[in-house]
Amino acid sequence: MTDKAALGVVSAICADEAALVARLRAGDDDAFADVVRTFGGRMLAVTRRMLRNEEDARDAVQDAFASVARSVATFDHSCRLATWLHRIVVNAALMKIRRRRRKPEDSIDELMPRFYADGHRIDPGPAWDDSLVEKAMVSADSRELVRRAIDRLPESYRTVIVLRDIEDLDTEETARLLEITPSAVKVRLHRARQALRTLLDPHFRERR
Amino acid sequence: MSDPMISCQEFIRTLADFLAGELPKDQHERGELHLKICPYCVDYLKSYQLTIKLGAEAMREEEENAESAELPEGLVEVILAGKGR
């Protein structure tokens, strides 16, 4: 299916979302298949980002659709179908993360900025070069480098970056999903961004 | 009355809230003042913002690729077969 055709399908579904949900609630297998084929690719992208493991990502999408089938009666139209599906698949991926998080995570303290006793930063280093960053935005190799840096973060830090900065969830929603306080989300996100910045720094600092 | 000057450590500690506009007004103003006198923190703030942007761009590119691809047919079949279990 081309992008244009896919967009047409999604638009048609949006226009007739209530009818689609009604069919889903009635147990219509064709409606369920339409939802799987239309939204499944995007949902798999979300689980791949969160889990970084293809088998787990596919399992989480499968779990999410099982949840959709069980809970479609609770869909209350206060949000779009796509938003509801997004929440369900994020939850399914987080369940996977919780199940596999068994070993202690590495500390990221060494990736935090360091300070003298008077509060000045130790070795601030050169500023980032705008032209290098601009090139990175359009370079497949550079984007891969950034993804590899994100993958180097311990899972709890990578997860909060994905939920807040990539999936665009707000602090409260992220806190609810991660079962931590909003303050803890803020602290963890700030540390994660600082650690990622440190990992990217050698690639984007001005050459002197 | 609190000191109008803050250190780099204090500025960077509160940077996320500063950027999100979630600091109390007086603290935000102290952050603005710090940026006027500290080029290193100006650079840090800029690289912090670019880090967020680079991360989002890199991960969203993956999503765009995934959206243009369909869900693998084998997975669709497993999901449809599992409906109602």
Name every chain B residue with its beta carbon within 8 A of the beta carbon of A165.
52, 55-56
pLDDT of residue A60: 96
Select the residue of B53, B65, B80 nearest A36 (Cβ to Cβ): B80
Instruction: Decide if A48 touches B, using CB distance below 8 A.
Output: yes
- Higher-pLDDT residue of A14 and A74 is A74
**B64 pLDDT above the threshold of 70:** no
Does A52 touch chain B if contact means CB atoms closer than 8 Å?
no
In this predicted structure, what is the pLDDT of residue A101?
65
Percent of chain A clearing pLDDT 90 (strictly above): 59
CA distance B74 to A41: 13
Cβ neighbours of B54 (radius 10 Å): 26
Closest by CA position to A34, among listed A12, A58, A67, A57: A12
Integer angstrom CA distances of residue B59 from A67, A135, A203, B64, B65: 26, 16, 18, 9, 10
Token pair in block for residue B31: 């952050």
A2-46 pLDDT, tens digit each: 556 655 555 555 557 888 888 888 888 899 999 999 899 999 999
- Does the CB of B5 have a partner CB in chain A at under 8 Å? no
Percent of chain B surpassing pLDDT 70: 82
A204 lies within 8 A of chain B by CB: yes
Is the model's pLDDT at B67 over the cut of 60? no
The Cα–Cα gap between B14 and A81 comes to: 37
| Interchain pair A143, B80: CB under 8 A | no
Is the C-alpha dihedral spanning B1, B5, B11, B13 positive or negative? negative
Set of chain A residues whose Cβ sits within 8 Å of the Cβ of B37: none
Whole-prediction pTM value?
Answer: 0.84
Does the pLDDT of residue B30 top 90, yes or no? yes
Burial class (CB in 10 A: 0-12, 13-18, 19+), B51: buried
Residue A181 banded pLDDT, cuts 50, 70, 90: very high
Q: Within chain A, what is the greatest distance between any pair of CA atoms?
A: 67
Instruction: Give the mutation candidate from B35, B59, B68 for the A interface (greatest A CB count, under 10 A).
Output: B59
- Dist CA B61 CA A208 (whole Å): 31
